Amino acid sequence: MPTLSSPLDKRIYTSTWPNIHAYRQFSLKMSSLKASLPTKVQWKNPPAKPGEAYQPSLIEQIANVFTHGVCILPAVYATWLLMQRASTPTQFWAGLIYGIALVLLFTVSTAFHTTCCLCNNSRMRDFLHRGDRAMIYIFIASSYFPWLSLMPNLSIAAEVTSKSSSSLLPRILSSLGVSTLVAADLRWLVWFLAAMGILYQQIFHEKYKWLETLIYVLIGLLPSLPFVHGDDFQGVWELKLGGAFYIIGLIFFKADGRIPLAHAIWHIHVAFGASMHYYAVFTYLMG
């Protein structure tokens, strides 16, 4: 405490010391807070090493949570609309399976990214990460299920006609000895492929990532052949546009650490692709 030479000095010191002390305490707290905050926003981290998962920056984690979190309630409402529009038991169950998978896709993804952002439990993160990847396969299969169930007679003939002469698919079917590829034949095959994809993903989690992506593409595209081959039924262009969103989104799915917010951009492509496919199911298959 400083030496006070007069009563006036004592009064001045007594009246100003609490304010000076409080100001110093506030300054120390603000200095500590500033030191704990990042000096700049880190939009991405370095790419993951082979066999390891990418570690997103904080802003990436927030974006990942937001971009799929905002889709959960709309997906629930969209599922309810499918139930209301269905006019037959087959439509009801096809729409219900599709809608549940749609809701779970966004819910599991949001839960995983929220856990990564807030929780240090590595076992929980790994469990939800595996679940997030498995939901991709389940969603692919369930997206086809309404079409394969409600349009079972849609087919591709191996015979080359004037309409199909520009496509290689009929020629490939003919060379394989397949006369006709019918949508109904793929109804359960797509679920079998999804199960095999999940099994592979659980065994080789975070290994051979490009092979894993290739499996996603193959399982996503092969069952679509009866649909995208022709333009003679309603909904084909919505299916093609939705598929284009997914395919373009894969560029960002594989660009973590190279493109800022790459995974969140992938989420946005998934949301748009799912919206286009939902519109087609709701408009052309239900009611």
113 annotated to bind ligand:
yes
- What domains are defined for the chain? 54-152+187-285 (1.20.1070)
Question: Which pLDDT score, from 0 to 100, does residue 182 have?
Answer: 63
The per-residue pLDDT string of the chain (287 residues; one tens digit each, 9 = 90 and over) reads 555 555 555 555 555 555 555 555 555 555 554 544 455 778 888 888 877 778 889 999 999 999 999 999 999 999 999 999 999 999 999 999 999 999 999 999 999 999 988 887 788 888 999 999 999 999 999 998 998 888 866 655 444 444 444 455 555 555 655 555 566 667 788 898 899 989 988 888 777 778 888 888 888 887 676 666 655 678 888 988 999 999 999 999 989 999 999 999 999 999 999 999 999 999 999 98
Token digits of residue 107: 């819910």
pTM (predicted TM-score): 0.76
Paired residues of 156 in beta bridges: 181
List Cα–Cα distances, 248 to 255, 260, 270, 281, in angstroms.
Answer: 12, 16, 10, 22
Calpha distance 21→17 (Å, rounded):
6
